[in-house]
Amino acid sequence: MKKLAAAVAATVLLGALAPALSAQTATFTGKWEGTFTVQRPDGTAGDTDPILFILTQKGKTLTGTFGDAEHQWPVEKGVVNARTATFEVQQPNGPLMKFTLTITKGKLEGEMLFVRNDVVRAKARIEAARQK
């Protein structure tokens, strides 16, 4: 009887922990499509444009590309820590883009900073969904 009670308790505990465990094991690997919305200096939303991430996560290392349907640039310095990824993308003849993204409820969300001469010139809000 004690073994049965212990087994039931373990099953209930694992069932309660399952959502937390799956959140910790969420992977950035995949094709993500969505938008970025530029934030104006006063905090209001500016232009919204389509984006596409093609990412591969291996342990704490993140590689891949970022851009749109026509142009993709390589992800550099990609690091994953729990559910958060940080990386950079250098667009030719454009600003350095620095990303901080989190997987929240199956969606990729976060911020992109546009940096030129080590100064943040603009920032944007990222929202993307994994494509099948």
pLDDT tens digits, one per residue of 65-120: 999 999 999 999 999 998 899 999 998 888 999 999 999 999 999 999 999 999 99
- Phi first, then psi: give them for residue 83, nearest 5 degrees: -100, 10
pLDDT in tens, 11-57: 444 444 444 434 445 899 999 999 999 998 788 889 999 999 999 99
Q: Is 42 helix (H, G, I), strand (E, B) or coil?
A: coil
- Domains along the chain with CATH numbers: 27-131 (2.40.128.20)
Q: Is 69 helix (H, G, I), strand (E, B) or coil?
A: coil
Tokens of 95: 């600003």
Q: What is the pLDDT of residue 43?
A: 82
Q: What is the pLDDT of residue 1?
A: 54
CA distance 68 to 51: 5
- Contact between 109 and 124 under an 8 Å Cβ cutoff? The reply is no
Which one has a higher pLDDT value, 62 or 121?
62
